[in-house]
Amino acid sequence: MIKMAENQPEESYRLEGVAFGLADGLIMCLGLIIGVAEATSDSRFVVIAGIIGGFANAFGNSIGFFMSQSAERALQIHETADHGATIRIHSKREISINTLCSFASTIAAVLVLLFPFLLLEMNLAIILTFVIGTMISFFLGSYVGRMSGENFYKEGLKYAILAIVGAIISHLIADLIQLII
């Protein structure tokens, strides 16, 4: 009989899904939104592409997260059975909640990033979206850094740089597409 060490609160592990969905949602959706804005200069296209891409990304994130966590759970169970040691094993409930949190946080990221395009003219919306995405990425990285005992500033900066690089690459791809089409 495998003894599962589930005395740690599941609430602390829900942050895995939130962090995963938010980080991926910010980086992917920021790049998508900036790229489409640059390529089309039409807020309607940005919002349409952002919503469709954001939901597709959220589904992909949550399914990938579910599969990854399920595989990790199987490995944890296998290691516990083989070594007799009691390790913490993800519960099925925890995996389900993390999956939903991953989906919801990705959707939240895309909605926050799209909001400026509903209210502002294109250039201002692009700048504000870029700033918002970079700031949220920094705060997420800082939080992860604090939780992992790392330097919160360096981790925040790392996350922000990743978001910036993704947006710049998308911007350059949009410029290239405009030249080709």
Q: Which pLDDT belongs to residue 81? A: 72
Q: Which pLDDT belongs to residue 10? A: 52
Q: Which pLDDT belongs to residue 12? A: 59
Q: Which pLDDT belongs to residue 6? A: 46
Can you count the helices (H) and strands (E) in the chain? 5, 0
Any domain includes 119: yes
Q: Return the structure tokens found at 174.
A: 């949009």
* CA atoms of 52 and 39, how far apart (whole Å): 17
The tens digit of pLDDT for each residue in 77-108 reads 887 777 766 667 778 888 888 899 899 999 99
Q: Which pLDDT belongs to residue 68? A: 87
User: pLDDT below 70 — which residues of the chain?
Assistant: 1-14, 84-87
The domain containing residue 142 runs over which residues?
A: 12-171
DSSP state letters, 74-133: HHHHHHHHHH--------HHHHHHHHHHHHHHHHHHHHHHHHHHHHS-HHHHHHHHHHHH
Q: How many domains does the chain have?
A: 1
Q: Which pLDDT belongs to residue 25? A: 87
Q: Which pLDDT belongs to residue 2? A: 41
CA angle 118, 120, 52 (to 5 degrees): 30
Nearest-Å Rg of the Cα atoms of the chain is: 19
Q: Which pLDDT belongs to residue 137? A: 93
The tens digit of pLDDT for each residue in 53-70 reads 999 999 998 998 899 888
